[in-house]
Amino acid sequence: MKTTKQKKLARAGWRTGTAEEFLGLKAEEAALVNMRVSLAEKLRSRRMRLGLSQTELARRLGSSQSRVAKMEAGETDVSLDLLVRGMLATGAKPGEVGSAIAAA
């Protein structure tokens, strides 16, 4: 959020902070959430850049389109290893997967 917007909200009596602060997450919990979000975003952008449909990616994974949609949304019932498998199914190299995690 922009600093000017934060100041405007503070003047109106609102408090601002991070999602981690709001949810009371420990550092390691926040790191896992950020990794999940980063992998989900990278998976979606790779799939779209390659011109793959969710159905095609699901076929490559032996899964369903709705599962791929959940993966791309970073749903909590999707494991990190499934997100990694999804990235690899798009042709990502291990280093690219690591970069996506490191960007979290």
The residue ranges of every structural domain in the chain are 18-102
CA angle, residues 5, 8, 11, in degrees to nearest 5: 150
Query: 2-11, 29-38, 57-66, 77-86 — which is least confidently predicted?
Result: 2-11
Domain at 18-102: CATH architecture = Orthogonal Bundle (1.10)
Is residue 42 scored above 90 in pLDDT? yes
| Gap between the Cα atoms of 3 and 60, Å rounded | 44
pTM of the model: 0.80
Phi and psi, residue 93, nearest 5°: -85, 155
Residue pLDDT, tens place only, 18-31? 878 888 899 999 99
Q: Across residues 31-51, what is the average pLDDT?
A: 95
| Gap between the Cα atoms of 104 and 69, Å rounded | 20
pLDDT at 21: 86
